[in-house]
Amino acid sequence: MWKPPKNPRVTELTKSWTERSANLDFIRPLKLEELDTKGRPKKLCAWCHEGVLRGGNQKYCSNDCSDSAMAWAYPQKENGLKFLLVRQDWKCAECKFDYAIAMKDILDREANRYPATADMLWFKDHSRLPWYYMKRLKDKLPKDRKPEVDHIVPIYKGGASLGLENHQAICYTCHKTKTKSDLSGKRSK
């Protein structure tokens, strides 16, 4: 499930960044004054600033935080696509093509091939699907229906490039039509 960032550095970068992706080295765990059992400062999750890290080089408190950070930094990739499709109820934002049918087909085939994994949580809760299922979804569909990530307000017109607020999942055909109409207009400085 998508977790919004509580790290002030993430909010700052979201507003100022103009590239299409960001390196996650820019966000780091928050060190506390309190010490752990080994005498080192305790650290909070780099994404949510809530979960206490167990030690080592750990950066995030959970897979949700890790996936959310990856989707924020690389919204055009599979993690971003997954969160956008879940947010949009597995439909194209423009033509409302339903991707849930194709995803159910993929998951049913997977459950038949590997019955022991059929009871795992991510077969019941699609927001917990691993990122590679988005690749399988793209491979299954014809070219004109493949899901793509689109900027609602294009970057050159002042739209945000990071995070999921300015992004939507749309099919290839709708994306081409929208891009054509977006390119006809003034650019912001």
- Are the C-beta atoms of 54 and 129 separated by less than 8 Å? no
Model pTM score: 0.83
Start-end of H helices in the chain: 8-16, 63-73, 78-87, 100-113, 121-124, 132-140, 172-182
Q: How is the chain split among helix, strand and coil, in percent rounded to 5?
A: 45, 10, 45
Pairing label, strands 41-44, 30-35: antiparallel
Instruction: Give pLDDT < 50 ranges for the chain.
Output: 121-122
**pLDDT given for residue 117 in this prediction:** 59
**pLDDT given for residue 188 in this prediction:** 58
- Are the C-beta atoms of 146 and 171 separated by less than 8 Å? yes
- Are the C-beta atoms of 24 and 66 separated by less than 8 Å? no
**pLDDT given for residue 187 in this prediction:** 63
**pLDDT given for residue 26 in this prediction:** 79
**pLDDT given for residue 134 in this prediction:** 92
**pLDDT given for residue 121 in this prediction:** 39
Structural domain boundaries in the chain: 1-74, 90-189
